[in-house]
Amino acid sequence: MKLLKYNKIAVLALISTTLFSCGSDDLPGESQLDFTQPEKTSLDNWIDGTYLNPYNINVQYKWNQNTVDNSRFLFPPAVDKVKPALEIVETIWLKSYAAIGGPDFVKKIAPREIVLVGGVNLNSVGTRTLGLAEGGQRVTLFETDYIDQTDRANVSEFIHTIQHEYIHILNQNKPFDEKTWKTLTPGGYTADWYNYEIPESNELGFITSYARSNINEDFAETASMILIYSKTEYAAFLAGIQSPFALQALKAKEAIVVKYFKEAFNMDFYALRDEAEKNTTSVIN
Amino acid sequence: MKMKQLYKYLFAAILILQLTACNNNTDAEQLFNETPTARLNQQKSELNDALLSSQYGWKAVYFTDNTVLGGYTHLFRFADDGTVQMASDFDADTKTYKSEYAIQVGSTVSLTFTTKNRIHLLSDSNNYPIPALRAKGYLGDFQFLYYGQENGEIIFKTNRNNRELRFVKATAEDWINLPQNLEMEKNVIGGEERPLFRLLETNDGTTVHKFDFSFTAVTRFANSNSIESGYSVSYNMGIGYTPTGIVVSPAVEVGGQKLSDFTYNDADGSFTATGTGGVSAVIKYTAKPLVLTDDYKFLLPGQPLAWFGFFVDDYTIDSPANSSLFYAELEKVNAALPAGQSIASIQIYGNHSIGTFIYYTFVGRGALQHHVTIEEDAVGKKMILKHKSWNGNTTVATPAFLASIDKYFMDPEGIYVKAESFRLFYSDPVYTFTSASSPFRMTTWKLQ
């Protein structure tokens, strides 16, 4: 019993010496990592002033392999194309949402990073990926080298990409009514959507062929296409649909989009469309 | 009792720990004296110093994948403000452009060209040389992992596919002479006046081997296969251009020596790489096909009817085997014909009931038959066509608009006939007719 007692004390003593020994080690010094920031160009300063400071959005145009798919053959944008691309994004997306959703709307729900890629992201089946939205945090925009502000079709396609990807970001924050959406055109979804002409897909109740890839893309395509159409253009589009089933499906999808914006974000979707149209015109002219 | 034992063991264990802890005398070999961070930092500054150390910058002949593509020469001049001046021979624009680079630390230290410049042309998914490379561009990379230095060269491995890339010190001449690389490309492709056949000849000091040699300019890649039966060696190689010749990868290995630098000789259009001890490799022209066939025998007297046809408005016009001279001669015929008329086909009938003849048809005018006799050159494995008559009339002279093209068929040296292995859309066998003394070659279908 006594032995046990002494043992206990000895063990305690040994443990404490173990814990406190080697205490003469040097305290960690200065970090060895290089934290010096690269010198900022006027473009970098403009990005800071337009995106980083007001919206807390980081814009990355210099190559960083960690933010792009290494299996794709892509390249960074030409430096002189970065500002025009970002101006379009700012005017049509940031300003439109700020005007309708309130100045803080995009500050709260926005990708924290925009990655610009200069080249085309060509898929092996021949389709091009125009943009990516990941985890509600990052939007990647491709083909920025080809932006031509004097060409309406060209700018429209780029704007479509932004609107489309932002709808994904919104969905990734607050889901839409997927249950109802699923019941509208369940038979039309297909992995080889790119083999179909757009008018053919329209007659099945899809706004584009890409909308047929799955319901998330369908929602993003429906919302973003209505946003880039003007009110009269969209009315003309609906008037051209022959199939009554397709027309009804398109209208039902539109209603879900409008309801989503109202219920999830308290925004008037039609007002947003009108604002986007106004800003689009100002960019192109 | 059990508890007691446990304490004993614990006591012993802690005692051992006490006695061995804080012992600096480790017998293990110290591989590195510095921490990993310090070593990465050291590598980073080592690479940075190296990049900035060369007065005229660095040169790299970048073979992105030497199993399908050739080499693209890039010149870099790095500045300590993070910018780089760059020129390349990717296309005719060999001017120098400025962009940014960064030495990045990830799993290892790497050199990355962070803003767009010439090297990114190799990594454009939308610009690919052949359908097999769709969405892959030219398989290029622009992030290079640093693997140290050797003989004044900087060794990198490409980030994506782990291929070695060496930066060698550039000279002032390298920058001035870069446009000459594209002049050299014309010599690799070969001028119209050069013979149609090309071969690679290797000599290991005692034995000479011959290989056919065909170069594809869009991929800068050459296929070269042995033409000797029972000797199945291939030298497929990517080709990079230099002002004085070509550099190939993988190197042509002859007699244990690796030959990669070939020098151009404008007199005969050949490229020669010389090793030691009589070892050499030569890419050169020859007027004679490398492999002679008996295919001409279809047309010799006494054979059944044979019918070959070339048609302007059909797939035969797009055959890669037609020579530039052949196309030029077709143009000449059309230029000499009145407006609204043009040549439509050239057909060769052997042993037809009305004779053996070349049958020229036209748009906007009647056909012409050039009747000939055919003689065999059994040794040279070719046939020689001799004039007999035009449309059966022996006194009529050759029509002026056909005189130029027709004389190639009447080549006194003869004509080689070859059954090709490729097809032109239809299943009909494809045959080529090649003049023995000039680079004139026509592609036909064998129709009967």
**How confident is the model over B367-403, as pLDDT tens digits?**
999 999 999 999 999 999 999 999 989 888 999 999 9
Task: Round to whole Å and give the CA distance between B372 and B358.
Answer: 8
Taking CB atoms and an 8 Å cutoff, what residues of chain B touch A70? 159-160
Contact yes or no for B15 and A124 at CB 8 A:
no
Give the confidence band of A4 by pLDDT, cuts at 50, 70, 90. Answer: low
A42-284, CATH topology level: Collagenase (Catalytic Domain) (3.40.390)
Chain B residues with CB-CB distance to A128 below 8 A = 126
Q: Is the pLDDT reported for residue A36 higher than 80?
A: no
Domain range annotation of chain B:
36-177, 181-286, 295-446
Give chain A positions within 8 Å (CB) of B81. Answer: 39
A22/B contact by beta carbon, under 8 A: yes
Give the residue from chain A lying closest to B18, CA to CA: A18
- Closest Cα to residue B262, out of B222, B289, B233? B222
Whether residue B208 has pLDDT greater than 70: yes
Closest to B194 measured CA to CA, from B184, B202, B186, B203: B186
Does the pLDDT value for residue A212 go beyond 60?
A: yes
- Whether residue A205 lies within 8 A of chain B, CB to CB, comes out as no
Lowest mean pLDDT among A41-45, B33-37, B59-63, B314-318: B33-37
Residue A210 is predicted with a pLDDT of 93
Contact list, A71 vs chain B (CB under 8 Å): 160
pLDDT, residue B24, reads 63
Under 8 Å between Cβ of A165 and A157: no
What are the residue ranges spanned by the domains of chain A? 42-284
How would you classify the pairing of strands B109-113 and B97-105?
antiparallel
For B314-347, write each residue's pLDDT tens digit.
999 998 889 989 999 999 999 999 999 999 999 9
Residue to test with chain A: of B114, B116, B142, most A Cβ within 10 A: B116
Nearest-CA distance from B397 to chain A in Å? 57
Contact A14 B124 (CB under 8 A): no
Q: Please, which pLDDT band fits residue A23 given cuts at 50, 70 and 90? A: low
pLDDT at residue A264 tops 70: yes
Residue A67 neighbours by CB distance under 10 Å: 13
Q: Any idea which architecture B295-446 has in CATH?
A: Beta Barrel (2.40)
Q: Which CATH number fits domain B181-286: 3.40.1350, 2.40.160, 2.60.40, 1.10.287?
A: 2.40.160
Give which of B83, B110, B111, B120 to mutate to test A binding, by max A Cβ within 10 Å: B120
How far apart are the CA of B334 and the nearest CA of chain A, in angstroms?
40
CA A198/CA A210 separation, integer angstroms: 9
Q: With a cut of 60, say whether residue A57 has pLDDT above it.
A: yes
Average pLDDT for chain B: 92
Closest CA to B241 of B72, B118, B68: B72
Tell me, yes or no, if A99 comes closer than 8 A to chain B by beta carbon.
no
Distance from the Cα of A126 to chain B's closest Cα (Å) equals: 8
pLDDT at A133: 85
- pLDDT tens digits for B158-169? 998 899 999 999
Q: What is the pLDDT of residues A159-196, one digit of tens each?
A: 898 899 999 989 988 999 999 999 999 999 999 999 99
Q: Which of A33, A35, A40, A63 is the best mutation test for B, with the most CBs of B within 10 A?
A: A63
Say which residue, A37 or B272, is predicted with more confidence.
B272
